[in-house]
Structure 1
Amino acid sequence: MTAAPPRNWAGNVTFRAARVHRPSSVAELQEIVAAARSVRALGTGHSFNRIADTDGDLVRVDGLPGRVEIDPAALTATVPAGLRYARLAEHLQAHGFALANLASLPQISVAGACATGTHGSGNGRPGLAAAVAGLRMVAPDGRLVELRRGVPEDRLDGAVVALGALGIVTELTLDIEPTYDVAQWVYTGLPLDRLAGAFDALSGAAYSVSVFTDWASGEARVWLKCRTDRDGSDHPGDSWQGARLAGEALHPIPGIFPAACTTQGGRPGPWHERLPHFRPDFTPSSGTELQSELLLPRSAAPQAVEALRRIGHRIAPVLQISEVRTVAADDLWLSPAHARDCVALHFTWSDRAEAVMRAVAAVEEELLPLGGRPHWGKLTALAPGDVAALHPRAADFRRLMADHDPEGKLRNDFVRGVFPT
């Protein structure tokens, strides 16, 4: 048992756990879970709300033994739940394999990212959880349970984005593919009029596309991540969609030195050294920030862009940067991209909590009527029960929780708020 971590990565959540454990074996984890009155798992602490909090036992799974086991025939890799994507990517690359996508930050854990519906970007790229072909977890009574894709009674599609409410995940089996290279280009000065008017052309211009703006200046920067075996490695031109090719490396937030960023300028490199915005050996910021995000139907992107432009001056005082990405549909019950291709509108705020929550409420007032669903690990002004109402399979997930955890051992205040009994 370790000393309780006082805060999450951002510093806006102080954990209330009575005990914090870092088991060194699955058997030890099983004993902890079976004996606990209330238990939750903690990954890298990169959530901005109380999704991982508990007043009971908090378990870190990054101390569990395990190694990456690659099945070249099945094109899968079985990985420890607490492994960070950066280390997983290095291992896969060394053996000639890759994941289809990565999030902006490679420092996050595999299990935590999947449980909260975290994603990268690309019109054809679903969220990270869509790669899960199976998982193992410790059930509330301490049993080890395995769920697999293609086994209807396992209901894996309900158990991947599960908010930590079904069991403590110990391993995940992920889809992989042969390795590939990516070249990254950055464009500046994209008119927001063009972002709204030509959204499909912009978001489909490369394997992965990210747009950064403050919604008040009228302009944006665009990161084009081109897969060289599909898109080639040449940039679209010095002038593209009204934007200009950057002549130097840039950080997503204007004015910040780009040393923490992955290589730009079109120099091809391995997938895991280009798809994230930030290098694994750099902390991209001090953590003194807050984040929120809404995923909307991709068809609503033009209306969403115009709505955010209308309130840009209201949110600008507390906004560091906003990122626009796309996420392909999946069939995972609690995924914000469930059954629909999405545009993801992400906001990195200052650490002024009260002012930020007013800004979050203003954004949600504009975007929720367009079909927005909040990211499970980030801030929202919505009442918890209202978040559940945005998910068509919420009732199915409630029944799944009752099947896996009838006593509610794995439910904390966050989960009970979303799914009241």
Structure 2
Amino acid sequence: MIDRALSTLADRDYTNVSYRVFNIGTANDLPAYSAEIGVPVDDRGLHIQAVEKIFEVAARRRKLGHAYQSSPISLRFVQASDALMSMMYGRDTMMIELIMLTHTEGGFELLADYEEAFYALGGRPHWGQVNSLTGSDGLITSMYPRFDDWLAVHRQLNASGVFDSPFSKRVGISASRFVS
């Protein structure tokens, strides 16, 4: 199916800035939200399994509660990064962007199901998009092997708490300060 779809493309290869590559026209102007998960690209084929998992999760959610993927899904490939908290840290990565039109019934739940399924494939969620990541059970430490090193630097640079937020507290990067 994928080969057939690719054969219909006008250009076999196309390189440009990202907003021109994934330009779907007027649909770009619709209000939406999205999650993005990065999975490793390596000989294990986890990135292929991730694409298959999208279809499995979507089919299960459709049967459970009539929740549907309401927008296109984007796949892109990114080289490994040495930035300690990057989704691409230490590995070539396939980025999976899962877009939902605003007001999609069950949309947030569907994104959470995708995210949970991708954890088993080494998936790392985008820090700035929709995610259900928390600091519990050592999940972040398992995703990012040098998290403790990064956290030590963060605490040094954020001693006053100026960069604290509800998100940073939820994921365990910063802590609420309680005074008795």
Instruction: Bin the TM-score by the shorter chain.
Output: 0.7 to 0.9
Corresponding position of 1:400:
153
CA distance 1:398–1:354, change in 2 (3 Å): farther
Q: Any gaps of 5 or more consecutive residues in structure 2?
A: 176-180
Please say if 1:295 is aligned against 2:38: yes
Within the candidate set 4, 8, 16, 1:244 is matched to 8
Alignment partner, residue 415 of structure 1? 168
Distance 2:139 2:70 in 1: 23
Alignment correspondent of 2:56: 310
Matched, 1:350 2:101: yes
Listed as ranges, the matches of 1:223-234 within 5 Å are none
Give the TM-score normalised by the residue count of structure 1: 0.34
Matches of 1:395 and 1:308, distance apart in 2 = 32
1:276 is aligned to 18
After superposition, residues 112-191 of structure 1 pair within 5 angstroms as 191=1
Percent identity for Structure 1 against Structure 2: 23
Post-superposition Cα deviations, 1:125-145, rounded to whole Å, max 9, x if no partner, equal xxxxxxxxxxxxxxxxxxxxx
**In the superposition, relative to structure 1, how do residues 354 and 388 fare at CA in structure 2: closer, same or farther (>3 Å)?**
farther
Corresponding residue number in structure 1 for 2:178: none
Q: Give the distance between the partners of 2:152 and 2:104, measured in 1 at CA.
A: 35
Secondary structure in 2 matching 1:332: coil
For 1:50-80, what per-residue CA distance to the aligned partner results, in whole angstroms no more than 9, with x for missing partners? xxxxxxxxxxxxxxxxxxxxxxxxxxxxxxx
Deviations 1:6-60 (A, max 9, x none): xxxxxxxxxxxxxxxxxxxxxxxxxxxxxxxxxxxxxxxxxxxxxxxxxxxxxxx
The structure with the greater share of residues assigned to helix is 2
Could you tell me how far 1:408 is from its partner in structure 2? 0.9
Which residue identity is paired with 1:388? I
8 Å contact kept, 1:388–1:394: yes
Q: Secondary structure at the match of 1:294?
A: strand
Query: Which runs of structure 1 show a deviation greater than 6 angstroms over 4 or more consecutive aligned residues?
Result: none
Equivalent residue pairs, number: 162
8 Å Cα contact 1:318/1:352 also seen in 2: no
Q: Are the structure 2 counterparts of residues 277 and 410 from structure 1 closer, same or farther at C-alpha, using a change threshold of 3 Å?
A: closer
| Cα RMSD, aligned residues only | 3.0
Conserved? CA contact 1:373–1:387, under 8 Å: no
Amino acid aligned to 2:31: T
Q: Deviations over 1:257-315 (max 9, x none)?
A: xxxxxxxx58x9xx7xx323439xx9863351010011011131121122222233336
Instruction: Classify 1:420/1:305 alpha carbon distance in 2 versus 1 (closer, same or farther; 3 Å).
Output: same
Question: Using a 3 Å threshold, how does the CA distance of structure 1 residues 284 and 245 change in structure 2: closer, same or farther?
Answer: closer
- How many Å apart are 1:371 and its aligned residue? 0.3
Q: Distance in 2 between matches of 1:276 and 1:364?
A: 23
- Alignment partners' CA distance in 2, 1:307 and 1:329: 23
> What letter corresponds to residue 286 of structure 1 in structure 2?
D
Distance in 1 (CA, whole Å) between partners of 2:95 and 2:75 is 6
- Are residue 388 (structure 1) and residue 140 (structure 2) matched? yes
Equivalent position of 2:121 in the other structure: 370
Q: How does 1:213-228 map to 2 (within 5 A)?
A: 221-222=5-6
Q: Contact 1:294–1:345 (CA<8 Å) still a contact in 2?
A: yes
Q: What is the DSSP-based 3-state SS (H/G/I as helix, E as strand, rest coil) of the residue aligned with 2:120?
A: helix
TM-score (structure 2 length as normaliser): 0.75
Give the letter for the 1:406 counterpart.
Answer: A
Q: Provide the secondary structure at the position in 2 that maps to 1:361.
A: helix
The structure with the larger Rg is: 1
- Between the aligned partners of 1:368 and 1:352, the Cα distance in structure 2 is 26
The CA distance in 1 between the partners of 2:104 and 2:115, in whole Å, is 16
Q: How many angstroms apart in 1 are the aligned matches of 2:140 and 2:29?
A: 32
Bigger fraction of residues in strand: 1
